[in-house]
Structure 1
C-alpha cells in the first residue's frame, strides 16, 4: 500500500484523537510508522493498524475503515484540489474514479494498486458500484463515497448488501 494512505491515516488519527494517539496506535500495531508518501509498504501494516485502532476504539474494522474513508476525503481535496475542481457534485466525481481519479493517482504514485468499480446507473437515479480489488476494502470505499458527498455538500445514502447475497461487493448510492 502506498505511503500516502498511511500519511492520511496519521493525519485523521491526530486530528480526531491527538498526536499521542498515533504513537500509541503504532506501538499497539507493532509497526515502525516511518511512512513516506511515495513509498510502498506491506498491506499487513495497514491491517495491523486497522485492527489496533478498532480494538482501541471499540468498533469493528469495517466501521473504522468507513470512518477513515469519510474523514480522509476533505484531506484529499485539500492536497489534490485539481482532482475535485472539475466536478460540480459528488456524482460526477464518483463516476470519474476509474477514468480520471485512479489514473491520476497512478501518475502521482507509480505502482499504486487502485480498485476498479463497475458502475451502473439505474433508472431510479441510484448508482450501483461493484468493487473489485484484492484488498477487500469495500468499507473504505463506502467511507470515500460518503466523504465525497460531504465535500461537495451532497446528501447520499449508501446501501451495503449482506454477505452471501451475491452483492456483497456492491454499493448502491442514492442521492437525496
Structure 2
C-alpha cells in the first residue's frame, strides 16, 4: 500500500484523537510507523493498524474503515484540489474515479494498486458501483463515497448488498 494512505491515516488519527494517539496506535499494531508518501508498504501494516484502532475504539474494522474514508476526503481535497474542483457534485466526482481519479493517482504514485468500479446508473437516480480489488477494502470505498458527498455539501446514503448475495461487492449510492 502506498505511504500516502498511511500519511492520511496518521493525519485523521491526530486530528480526531491527538498527536500521541498515532504513536500509541503504531505501538499497539506493532508496526514501524515511518511511512513516506511515495513509499510502498505491506498491506499487513494497514490491516494491523485497522485492527488495533478498531479494538481501541470498540468498533468493527468495517466501521473504522468507513470513518477513515469519510474523514480522509477533506484531506484529499485539500491536497489535490484539482481532482475535486473539476466536478460540480459528488456524483460527477464518483463517476470519474476509473477514468480520471485513479489514472491521476497512478501518475502521482506509480505502482499504486487502485480498485476498479463498474458503474450502473439506475432509473431512480441511484448509482450501483460494483467494487473489484485484490485488497477487499470495500468498507473504505464506502467511507470515501460518503466523504465525497460531505465535501460537496451533499447528503448521500450508501447501501452495501449483504454478504452471500450475488451482489455482495455492490454499493448503491442514493443522494437526498
TM range (shorter): over 0.9
Look up the SS of the partner of 1:117 in the other structure.
strand
Partner of 2:118: 118
TM-score, reference length from structure 2: 0.99
> Is the counterpart of residue 134 in structure 1 residue 146 in structure 2?
no
Q: Are residues 1:33 and 2:29 paired?
A: no
Distance 2:112 2:169 in 1: 21
Aligned pair count reads 176
| Cα distance in 2 for residues equivalent to 1:155 and 1:63 | 19
How far apart are 1:112 and its partner, in Å? 0.3
The match for 2:95 is 95
Q: CA deviation at 1:168?
A: 1.1
Unaligned runs of 5+ in 2: none
Q: Give 3-state SS (helix, strand or coil) of 1:84's partner.
A: helix
Q: Distance in 2 between matches of 1:29 and 1:38?
A: 22
Aligned to 1:7: 7
TM-score, length of structure 1 as denominator length: 0.99
- Measure the CA separation in 1 of the matches of 2:157 and 2:3: 30
Aligned to 1:65: 65
Distance in 2, matches of 1:30 and 1:174, equals 39
Which residue does 2:155 correspond to in 1? 155
- How far apart are 1:54 and its partner, in Å? 0.5
1:31, 1:10 → 2: CA distance? 13
- Compute the displacement of 1:126 (Å): 0.4
Q: What do the CA deviations read for 1:91-140 (whole angstroms, capped 9, x no partner)?
A: 00000000000000000000000000000000111000000000000000
Which structure 1 residue ranges, 5 or more long, are not aligned? none
4+ residue runs of structure 1 moved beyond 4 angstroms? none
Partner of 1:47: 47
Report deviation, 1:167: 1.2
Q: CA deviation at 1:70?
A: 0.1
Deviations 1:23-53 (A, max 9, x none): 0000000001000000000000000000000
